Amino acid sequence: MQAYGFWVKVFALTFAMGVVSGITMSFQFGTNWPGFMETVGNIAGPLLAYEVLTAFFLEATFLGVMLFGRKRVSERMHTTATFLVAFGTTMSAVWILVLNSWMQTPVGFEMINGQAHATDWIAIIFNPSFPYRFTHMLLASGLTASFLIAGLSAYQYLRGERCAAALAALRTGIFVAATLIPIQIFVGDLHGLNTLEHQPAKVAAMEGVWETERGAPALAFAIPNEKERRNDYAIGIPKLASLILTHDANGEIKGLNEFEGKHPPVAPVFWAFRVMVGIGMLMLLVSWLAAWQSRKQGMLKPWLARGLVAMSFSGWIATLAGWYVTEIGRQPYLVTGVLLTKDAASATAAPIIGVSLGLYLMLYLVLIVSYISVLFYLARHAHKKYSPLTIAEAKI
């Protein structure tokens, strides 16, 4: 319960950040992307409506009971409220990822007078990329949370906190991360194969493959040169990309030149993909090392604890990079093959959009800085009132 007392604060703070930035999005459909709803509103509309109705109200209402109602309701009701908050947040992820996946791989509709009309809701909900994207995202959220927990707990550990709750949190964070990351790498691979099938141009940009080729190398480094349509300074491992994507060292990968004029900007997708995968590999290394050390010796070497602290926010960065890959990778389309991004954009004058963007960026910057510093501040003061364990007891 002592661990709950600290982490529920972190949760409440994080939730508030999520709620307020989410409200912004419901307005931006209209303010910035009116063409989106005008074209595919008949499909996106019900999905968004179901998100608000089945998820937002549930999580928002029971969050109040969960956070502030412990003295006012029975223990059982409090557990139910907590469960309903978790259920609500998961439902919210389901609906929004259904919509996003449908935008990536649209099915189950027909176009009448330039507007999409639903013909098969089951096909729309279980569209080809949804199962992969949903699993990949849920695991990403799990990893984000476990690295945050491990990172902040390692920070407390380095400061000499040796109370049971802090150690339990550290242990949980490490072992959940170490369990999830190999699953995530496996699911990520499946997701990549699914993308290759439905959005080959995105995969070509991720791998930096310009010409269709057999036995394509996996590039560790390169500077994609969009003007001359080739990579500069490429360093790669021969045949690896073909092997990963087609499970055949000489498998064919379609190059960007097959999609000229209809493929995304290469460099951001290429680099975001490398950031995501790189962090994923680092996560594997750090979490397994930490799991091994704590199993073996019941403690963490300071350098590894520092590594965990440094990785506190790695989940967010990797998730964000992953979203950059998939969202920029869908360009020039907003809805693949149906709606171009430029056709959905608002006619609002550029300077006005610039002003609002600048204001949001400034505000978000202040919030991120405050958020991170408050997290560490909370971590420093979390366990003050609890007595430390003896050295013999203080095993992870």
Which residues here bind another protein, judged by CB under 8 A?
Answer: 5, 8-9, 12-13, 16-17, 19-24, 26-27, 29-31, 34-35, 37-38, 41-46, 48-50, 52-54, 56-58, 60-65, 67-73, 115, 117-118, 121, 346-348, 352-353, 355-356, 359-360, 363, 367, 370, 373-374, 377-378
Buried b / exposed e over 350-371, threshold 16 CB at 10 Å, is eeeeeeeeeeeeeeeeeeeeeb
Of 183 and 352, the one with the shorter C-beta distance to another protein is 352
Structure tokens that stand for 164 in this block: 């049971």
Q: Can the peptide bond before residue 332 be classed as cis, meaning omega within 30 degrees of 0?
A: yes
CA 89 to chain centre: 14
Min dist CB 93 to another protein, Å, is: 16
| CA atoms of 223 and 235, how far apart (whole Å) | 10
Min dist CB 327 to another protein, Å, is: 20
Min dist CB 2 to another protein, Å, is: 11
Bridge partners, residue 117, by sequence: 110
Of 119 and 250, the one with the shorter C-beta distance to another protein is 119
Of 53 and 86, the one with the shorter C-beta distance to another protein is 53
Q: Positive or negative, the Cα torsion across 68, 72, 74, 77?
A: negative
Of 70 and 162, the one with the shorter C-beta distance to another protein is 70
Structure tokens that stand for 84 in this block: 């309903």
Provide the 3-class DSSP secondary structure of residue 396: coil
Structural contact between residues 75 and 1, judged by C-beta atoms closer than 8 angstroms: no
What is the pairing mode between strands 109-112 and 115-118? antiparallel
| CA atoms of 186 and 188, how far apart (whole Å) | 5
Of 68 and 292, the one with the shorter C-beta distance to another protein is 68
Residue 311, C-beta contacts closer than 8 angstroms, at least 6 positions apart: 147, 150, 151, 282, 283, 286
Q: What stretch of H or E contains 344?
A: helix 341-344
Min dist CB 259 to another protein, Å, is: 30
Q: What stretch of H or E contains 213?
A: strand 213-214
Residue 221, C-beta contacts closer than 8 angstroms, at least 6 positions apart: 233, 234, 235
Min dist CB 57 to another protein, Å, is: 5
Of 102 and 271, the one with the shorter C-beta distance to another protein is 102
Min dist CB 23 to another protein, Å, is: 6
Min dist CB 151 to another protein, Å, is: 18
Residue 271, C-beta contacts closer than 8 angstroms, at least 6 positions apart: none
| CA atoms of 166 and 385, how far apart (whole Å) | 13
Of 237 and 361, the one with the shorter C-beta distance to another protein is 361
| CA atoms of 120 and 161, how far apart (whole Å) | 56
- Orientation of helix 302-310 relative to helix 266-297, angle to 10°: 150
Min dist CB 42 to another protein, Å, is: 4
Min dist CB 144 to another protein, Å, is: 19
Of 38 and 393, the one with the shorter C-beta distance to another protein is 38
Min dist CB 148 to another protein, Å, is: 15
| CA atoms of 108 and 119, how far apart (whole Å) | 5
